[in-house]
Copies of this chain bind each other. A is one copy, B any other.
Amino acid sequence: MRRFIVVGHEAVTSDDFRLDDLAGSTGRLDILLRCVNSAFMLSHGVRTDTELFLCLQGPPARPRVVRLVGSELRHLNPDERSTAALIRKALALRMQGRSTPGIYLEMRGLKGLLEEYGRDLVYLREDGEDLRAAVLPDDPAFLLSDHRDLTPEEETAVLDLQPRIVSVGPRSLHADHCIVLVNNELDRV
């Protein structure tokens, strides 16, 4: 199993947003939508060995996690708008549960995810060891951030877990591109 955790520092935690303004009024949820595509999309199907945790830190509500489970997903299309509709449906639940096949709302934040997956954590950071040379855990959980770096508090919590720190290459890339590169690397093992 490969897992990706993406921190959306200002990503909306309610379903009160418009599908035609995804890059504007959602706290950059659009970045996380592209991560959904990168994590799961194959030419003909979906990666069933993958889980993705979108860590939405709000406002307006407290942090929530939308969890996507590749082996259960249905109705996932590659475009941002239809993925946004699925995420919005999850946020509309307002309590823990499944919204559509393979998509779950969880009432926790990054701290809860680090407690569960911290042992196999791989922190993607520009100054890390080259992904191609890195020795990865068997069930890695890759941690990425949106357009903002982790806060000092988040970074401390992550580093306390002594994660592997890994870089995808010489250029600084968006989270969704990093996920494509990680998936390719794992495909080659």
Contact = CB atoms under 8 A, between A and B. Distances in A.
Interface string A176-189: 01001101100110
A44 interface: yes
A15 interface: no
Contact of A187 (B37, B77, B171): B171
Interface residues of A, number: 34
B81 A38 contact: no
A150 interface: no
A188 B169 CA distance: 7
Contacts of A181: 180-181, 184
B169 A79 contact: no
Given A23-B81, A34-B78, A171-B183, 20 more contacts: A19-B20, A22-B79, A23-B77, A23-B82, A30-B78, A31-B78, A41-B173, A42-B171, A42-B173, A42-B174, A43-B147, A43-B171, A43-B172, A43-B174, A80-B81, A169-B184, A169-B187, A171-B184, A173-B180, A173-B184
